Amino acid sequence: MSRLLVRRPSPRLADGEVTHIGRTSVDPDLAQRQWEAYVDVFRTRGWEIIQIDAADEQPDGVFVEDAVVVFGDLAVLCRAGAESRRGEAPTVREAVAATGLEVAEIAAPGTLDGGDVLKIGSTVYVGASSRTNAEGIAQLTALLAPRGWQVVAVPVERVLHLKSGVTALPDGTVVGFEPLVDDPAAFPTFESVPEEHGTAVVVLGPDEVLMSSDAPETAARYEARGLRVVATPITEFEKLEGCVTCLSVRIRD
């Protein structure tokens, strides 16, 4: 059974970090409803939902993908690039320890945000961003190389995280909104999409993806490729540079 690590939104969500976009009003009640609908996408497909303990004092705590990345039977606990987010780590550490996965951890002075990590086959693309530094990438490489993963660093300056700009379809095609992608040539196969919020997909199965409902033209393109598209509204999280990947950590058994 596949498992999903999530954490409910903090009442202080509107105070979350923003870096590349202007701050706009966030509706906490709507965010909660959108989060519940997001989680239900996985629940109705048989995923086991694991809720990390609430961290209401951490506005960005709902974006659990940044806190841990899973590589097979190894969970790598990240060290947040934003100091304000490091208080999220203890409860994430406890939840991950209970999964039975082997656990490793990025240590100071390294920083690594999970939103900068894109896995395609045995290749791990890592965004060299304002949140992930060279030492963090080096530590991740040292952990993964003995396990057969190849780590490739790519520049990220136009968006917050690598996966704010690109993700991958089930066949490995990297998709992104080209004006926000620093180096499309960094990827063997890149396809531009017409909408900013169409860049982020979560692979639910070999022919099914989850994405934001705010990119209907992109969704139509994916459907034309033969994919089943599940679209869900996440407007309140997009106001904080979040996307469908950020709201969960997927453990595929």
The per-residue pLDDT for range 68-79, each reduced to its tens digit, is 999 999 999 999
3-state SS assignment for residue 102: strand
pLDDT for the residue 211: 98
pLDDT for the residue 253: 78
The per-residue pLDDT for range 121-147, each reduced to its tens digit, is 999 999 999 999 999 999 999 999 999
pLDDT for the residue 158: 96
**Is pLDDT of 19 > 90?**
no
Q: Which residues contact 75 (CB under 8 A, 6 or more apart)?
A: 68, 69, 96, 99, 101, 102, 103, 104
- The confidence band for 94, taking pLDDT boundaries of 50, 70 and 90, is very high
Termini Cα distance of the chain: 6
Instruction: Establish whether the linkage from the previous residue to 146 is cis, with ω within 30° of 0.
Output: no
**Is pLDDT of 87 > 80?**
yes
Task: Using alpha carbons, select from 37, 70, 67, 64 the residue that is nearest to residue 51.
Answer: 64
Tally of structural domains, the chain: 1
User: What is the value of pTM for the model shown?
Assistant: 0.96
pLDDT for the residue 22: 84
pLDDT for the residue 184: 97
Q: How far apart are CA 126 and CA 117, in angstroms?
A: 5
- The confidence band for 89, taking pLDDT boundaries of 50, 70 and 90, is very high
The phi, psi pair for 77, rounded to 5°, reads: -75, 125
> In this structure, what CATH number is given to the domain that contains residue 175?
3.75.10.10
Task: Let me know: does 199 contact 152? Beta carbons within 8 Å.
Answer: no
Query: What is the DSSP annotation of 133-195?
Result: -HHHHHHHHHHHGGGTPEEEEEE--SSSSHHHHEEE-TTS-EEE-GGG-S-GGGSSSEEE-SS
What mean pLDDT do residues 22-30 have? 93
pLDDT for the residue 31: 98
- The confidence band for 232, taking pLDDT boundaries of 50, 70 and 90, is very high
pLDDT for the residue 2: 96
The per-residue pLDDT for range 159-193, each reduced to its tens digit, is 999 999 999 999 999 999 999 999 999 999 999 99
Please, which residues bridge with residue 79 across strands?
112
In this structure, which amino acid lies at residue 180? L
3-state SS assignment for residue 112: strand
Kindly list the catalytic residues: 161, 246
Range of the domain at 244: 3-251
